[in-house]
Structure 1
Amino acid sequence: MSDLLSVRNLKAGFLAGGRVLTAVDGVSFAVAPGETFALLGESGCGKSATALALLRLLPNAGRIQGGEVWLEGEEILALPEAAMRDRRGSAAAMIFQEPATSLNPVLTIGRQIGESLERHRGMKGEAARREALALLTAVGIADPERRLEEYPFQLSGGMKQRAMIAIALAGEPRLLIADEPTTALDVTIQAQILDLLARLQAERAMGMLLITHDLGVVARSAHRVGVMYAGEIVETAPRQEFFTSPRHPYTQKLFAALPDLGQRGAQLATIPGQVPGLAAMPAGCRFAPRCPVAMDRCRLESPGWTELEAGHQVRCHWVAQQLPGGEQRLPDLPAAPPTAAAAADAARENLLAVGELKVHFPIRKGLFKRTVGHVKAVDGVSLELQRGRTLALVGESGCGKTTAGKAVLRLLPASGSVRLDGRELLALPERELKPLRRRMQMVFQDPFASLNPRLTVGEIIEEGMTALRVAASRDERRAALAALLESVGLPAEALGRYPHEFSGGQRQRIAIARALAVQPELLVCDEPTSALDVSVQAQILNLLRRLQEELGLAYLFITHNFAVVEYLAHDVAVMYLGRIVEQGPVQQVLAAPCHPYTRALLSAVPEPRLAGQREMVRLPGETPSPARPPQGCHFHPRCAQASERCRQEYPAPSTQAGGVVVRCHLYPAD
């Protein structure tokens, strides 16, 4: 079978300071019809730049320096731009990483699909509308007639991603480039998107270039895999061989950085340093400065390709000099022994006790903005958290996790009870609450958005210390700042730099340092590892675990990443539509989930080891609106085991083996 896409020695870069810095350096691969080729690697490795170069969509500073790109037997880098516009969307289309910024906010979804239909298929008017409805139906959007007239801000994250796929499919492309199509989506929505792409690919015999840093997504979707590092592909293999026998030291390190329950109490393997900048590419092998088995030859000479098995190739001097057919594995990090603090968990008293917490936002309509209803974002949540322990709050987007975390810190108005070390917070006036803010802080999901771009790192961290009167003199604060940066693994000179000068993982460390600056006892961590590479995620998790052991911090950890929950959390609470449906010790809940929703969430997690793939429980539709929650059990419209009682009556709590509390009519109430 001839290749649909053939990339040969592609080189591309960006103009900076009068010279072109190479970001994609000699990349070659091919994609056959109906095949998915996954391009895997850390942020900054050149994956997205490769995709943009293929379609000649690089920004103004981008330059294609050489190579060939053959699409359906035609060399498209040599085409004039007018001809290239005809190929984009028809021969090849792209799903961009962030649909919220890729969709036009001032055009309806129907108008945006219609533009592609008119450009590539000459369809207008009623014919275009019918085809747009068919596309929205094909990508699984309910009520497509209504959604066609809506704007992107009216759609959830999953629906925006589906709309982006519909726009990409409007031109009936033979090649689909999907750039991180599931980044930061819930596991259930991620599973739906991956299933959708697989179905559409099978129906249309499309080739797909899948760009991702998620090994679970690769295990679930790819036929072949290419690992990219610092602008070069360093390993290619069929999926089975890739997951059973990864050979390049970089690939093995990526696998070693994955957290799971078996590594609790142990230090996750990390890759020291970070991907080199475009202006500072090392000579020889580009991974050598971070490689534990690098030799002198690695630092001087760039490795060529070594063929291991059919279709499995690697660029590595260390692998090449090993015995043919031997399996090389890097030495594992020794497991850290459990700490004394962890052994004493059971005897601890509650630091945080939340009872029947409610956050209801009014819905106002009409000229006089009368309240006509409420959005019940958090609707009766009760939690307990002890010192030195981690409680994970998990669930789909829109279930109220972040709202609950902010309400606990009095960042949102709420009713119910929030007691910090026995003291009620919700009834306190602001002047009495301010001293308590030293004891509880938040690490926000997006560190770039939560760090003031106009302030240096030192000013950002010192701001909270000054407001809450931590350290009397400026000299004391400056000494504390340097110690804080050292504790989160950053050099002292970072104090004078600005947030944009740091990588995503470094910015998250800065956000953690800012929260720690006022010496808190409780940290609310809102998706602190969301969208981070596995290697950077491992660094942040190691840091959080170490800080908890040394400082006795309690974490309310908001996440949808169950691998992180398995590794870091002691207890877990599963949230659905503003309410807790199951909670208990993490080992018990994850090993034997009771609630159908918990089982569905766990089954949707893509397992980054082929042998561990679970049978998936598919949830129909999306989470209902908290403004109109269903009568009875809120989950019953999506539950395959729902009974008539579920439709009429909300279940009372039931205590199961191991201290797990579940709200489900399948389990008799206490």
Structure 2
Amino acid sequence: MLQVKDLRLGFASGERTLLAVDGISFAIERGETFALLGESGCGKSATAQGLMRLLPTAGRIVGGSVQLDGEELLARSEAEMRAYRGGRMAMIFQEPATSLNPVLTVGRQIGEVLERHRCLRGEAARARMLDLLRQVGIADPERRLDEYPFQLSGGMKQRVMIAIALAGEPELLIADEPTTALDVTVQAQILDLLAQLQAERGMGMLLITHDLGVVARMAHRIGVMYAGELVEVASREEFFSAPCHPYTQALFAALPDVSRRGMTLTTIPGQVPSLAAMPAGCRFADRCPQVMPVCREQSPAWREAQPGHAVRCHWQGAQEASAPVSSVADALPSGQAPLLDVADLKVHFPIRKGILQRTVGHVHAVDGVSLAISPGRTLALVGESGCGKTTVGKALLQLIRPTAGSVRLAGEELTGLSGRDLRAARRQLQMIFQDPFASLNPRLRIGEIIAEGMTALGVGGDAAAAVRALLQQVGLPDDAAERFPHEFSGGQRQRIAIARALAVQPALLVCDEPTSALDVSVQAQILNLLKTLQGELGVAYLFITHNFAVVEYLAHDVAVMYLGRIVERGSADEVLGNPRHPYTQALLSAVPVPRLDGAGERIRLPGETPSPAKPPSGCHFHPRCPQATEVCRERYPDGKTLSDTHVAVCHWVN
């Protein structure tokens, strides 16, 4: 269905065109998923934008061919391409916050596609919009249709993007990190939906992702991309059982899991070469453990390792066992007095309607959360998108004022502080935000962004030297300080956000999905950095995430959140190894595993997450719980103490 031959894409830089994609070729059949893997900045998203003819102003199509059902897309005019985009081919973009129009409602944005490509208007269009939002797991779709993107959580924005892409019933779906911002249950639901639509319509899919678990579950064939070139193409079975290229092997070695806890993750030294300085030989040579003299002189040709398994590499040796990794100093014991102590935290947002904007109800985003974090320890806060995790993080910093409850940092009450007192407290408490592009000032250079907090909070020392050291810590070159945020890839922007948060040397970091935009090699580098800083400086983390592999590797304690309340908490070993709440069990069963054998049987939760504006009576989880009885519908359960540290809020836990 899709045939890409020798595609070459570049970006104008002065009088030169720097190639970001240099001669890649692949094909996708009807009903097939082709996964494109690779490090941030290697050309995956540029490939997707080139196929859709959506390159930015500086983008150039230098050569090659892209055919959809035999029709050459690169020869089409812009007016002709509008009939293809959204209809015959659609794209789920990587950053929903910057892809959705901030001045149009959700319903208007989905309606544009239905009107243009399906000729639906009025009530028929609205009924289809509601159906699409339900398909992608958005609760209370009638209300959400009339809301704007800023009123939605990160995961909800991503689901709206998926609904827009599916609205035109495309033949080819290009999914650029489609599940990055989604928790595991919604991710499983979306992947099931995409697989179902693919089977029903024979839809082809180009899946761009860094999540090897998603690849294991969805892909039929995989292409590994590095520095603008494909270096390995294989079937799913061959890819996971016998990866051949040293770069692919390094990606597998960088995966975090519970067996590597307390150890330093394997990382790939160095960085992807810049577009202006591509090496003459193999582009991976400077970072490759198997490098030979020929690698630096001559670009390798394709060779077939097995039928249907092609690799572009001079080295033909067997895969070596991973080198032993050193241990990292573990956290301070949990018996210490808590650095952060949160008691009965509530954040309720008013729902206003009518000309006079009267309050007609409240969204119970956070509804009585209590937690504690000791110095030098990591508490992972997990749960579905929209359950209130990010709101908890922002309420701790008083970026959102709590409705009720107490937040004490090192014994000092933060609730109610303002002005100079609050600024002094934020010297000890910083946040890494979920969307790095939206949280970086587009008018400032990177060096100014990182130094800004140091200047504002009076952190002394040589700011320029500190900026260089921080950039080096997070794996960015020194010249990054003179560039602007739009010049970096999504993963690189996330590293800049981490450097900015670390600049004021805080005692506690609130990390809101800090590795969600990162590929596995950079994720390993960031996790090693966070672990090292914790061991050396005793910094504590509240780690908001949906990546359970990261939780297994990094967290000492885990709190599971559902609809504004914590339903289970305990040490990582207790919650992950012996989950007692039915919701925690369902979450863990939905985690995609980067292996061919996959995980155990998945617990499929019926229905959708209820709206926090209309929480159910009794236990909030009872409409979806397989064990619910009458008492669950009538009364919210008390917490059951299972050990000194393990508590589950459920009627049926003993």
Question: Does the aligned pair in 2 maintain the 1:40–1:47 contact within 8 Å?
Answer: yes
- Say if 2:377 is the partner of 1:389: yes
- Say if 2:318 is the partner of 1:332: no
User: Comparing 63-72 with 90-99, which one deviates more in the overlay?
Assistant: 90-99
User: Comparing 284-293 with 165-174, which one deviates more in the overlay?
Assistant: 165-174
Per the alignment, residue 273 of structure 1 pairs with 270
Partners of 1:442 and 1:591 lie apart in 2 by: 29
Question: Does the aligned pair in 2 maintain the 1:585–1:658 contact within 8 Å?
Answer: no
Partners of 2:136 and 2:503 lie apart in 1 by: 47
> CA deviation digits over 1:401-457, x for unaligned, max 9?
222223223333233233333343336675555544333332333344334344444
Cα–Cα, structure 1 residues 127 and 406, in superposed 2: closer, same or farther, change >3 Å?
A: closer
Question: Does the aligned pair in 1 maintain the 2:110–2:163 contact within 8 Å?
Answer: yes
Aligned-pair CA distance for 1:178: 2.1
Per the alignment, residue 237 of structure 2 pairs with 240
Per the alignment, residue 405 of structure 2 pairs with 416
User: Comparing 441-450 with 634-643, which one deviates more in the overlay?
Assistant: 441-450
SS state at 1:546 partner = helix
Per the alignment, residue 325 of structure 1 pairs with none
- The match for 1:261 among 258, 276, 298 is 258
SS state at 1:449 partner = coil
Per the alignment, residue 10 of structure 1 pairs with 7
Per the alignment, residue 537 of structure 2 pairs with 551
SS state at 2:286 partner = helix
Cα–Cα, structure 1 residues 310 and 286, in superposed 2: closer, same or farther, change >3 Å?
A: same
Question: Does the aligned pair in 1 maintain the 2:140–2:611 contact within 8 Å?
Answer: no
Aligned-pair CA distance for 1:150: 6.2
For residues 30-429 of structure 1, the aligned pairs below 5 Å read 30-79=27-76, 83-105=80-102, 112=109, 115-117=112-114, 119-120=116-117, 161=158, 163-319=160-316, 322=317, 328-330=318-320, 332-337=322-327, 339=329, 342=331, 345-365=333-353, 369-414=357-402, 415-426=404-415
User: Comparing 53-62 with 350-359, which one deviates more in the overlay?
Assistant: 53-62
Please state which structure has a larger fraction of its residues in helix: 1
The one-letter amino acid of 2:438's match is: A
The one-letter amino acid of 1:623's match is: T
Partners of 2:122 and 2:413 lie apart in 1 by: 61
Question: Does the aligned pair in 2 maintain the 1:391–1:555 contact within 8 Å?
Answer: yes
| TM-score normalised per structure 2 | 0.90
Gaps of at least 5 residues in structure 1 are 323-327
SS state at 2:542 partner = strand
Per the alignment, residue 24 of structure 1 pairs with 21
Per the alignment, residue 576 of structure 1 pairs with 562
User: Comparing 99-108 with 415-424, which one deviates more in the overlay?
Assistant: 99-108
Partners of 2:96 and 2:444 lie apart in 1 by: 29
| TM-score normalised per structure 1 | 0.88
User: Comparing 583-592 with 42-51, which one deviates more in the overlay?
Assistant: 42-51
SS state at 1:97 partner = coil
The one-letter amino acid of 1:443's match is: I
Cα–Cα, structure 1 residues 317 and 66, in superposed 2: closer, same or farther, change >3 Å?
A: same
> CA deviation digits over 1:90-125, x for unaligned, max 9?
543333334454444555666555554555566667
Question: Does the aligned pair in 1 maintain the 2:586–2:604 contact within 8 Å?
Answer: yes
Question: Does the aligned pair in 1 maintain the 2:138–2:608 contact within 8 Å?
Answer: no
- Say if 2:432 is the partner of 1:446: no
Question: Does the aligned pair in 2 maintain the 1:252–1:330 contact within 8 Å?
Answer: no
Aligned-pair CA distance for 1:523: 2.0
The one-letter amino acid of 1:332's match is: S
Cα–Cα, structure 1 residues 142 and 511, in superposed 2: closer, same or farther, change >3 Å?
A: closer
- Say if 2:594 is the partner of 1:604: no
Partners of 2:176 and 2:524 lie apart in 1 by: 23
Per the alignment, residue 650 of structure 1 pairs with 636
Aligned-pair CA distance for 1:69: 2.5
SS state at 1:520 partner = coil
Query: Which has the greater radius of gyration?
Result: 1
SS state at 2:628 partner = coil
Partners of 1:16 and 1:239 lie apart in 2 by: 38
Question: Does the aligned pair in 2 maintain the 1:585–1:659 contact within 8 Å?
Answer: yes
Question: Does the aligned pair in 1 maintain the 2:10–2:59 contact within 8 Å?
Answer: yes
Partners of 1:470 and 1:148 lie apart in 2 by: 45
User: Comparing 178-187 with 310-319, which one deviates more in the overlay?
Assistant: 178-187
Alpha-carbon RMSD: 3.1
Gaps of at least 5 residues in structure 2 are none
> CA deviation digits over 1:578-632, x for unaligned, max 9?
2111000101211121111111221222111223423222234443232322211
The one-letter amino acid of 1:192's match is: Q
Cα–Cα, structure 1 residues 596 and 456, in superposed 2: closer, same or farther, change >3 Å?
A: same
- The match for 1:437 among 421, 426, 440 is 426
Partners of 2:195 and 2:581 lie apart in 1 by: 28
Cα–Cα, structure 1 residues 203 and 591, in superposed 2: closer, same or farther, change >3 Å?
A: same
Partners of 1:441 and 1:137 lie apart in 2 by: 36
Partners of 1:129 and 1:427 lie apart in 2 by: 44
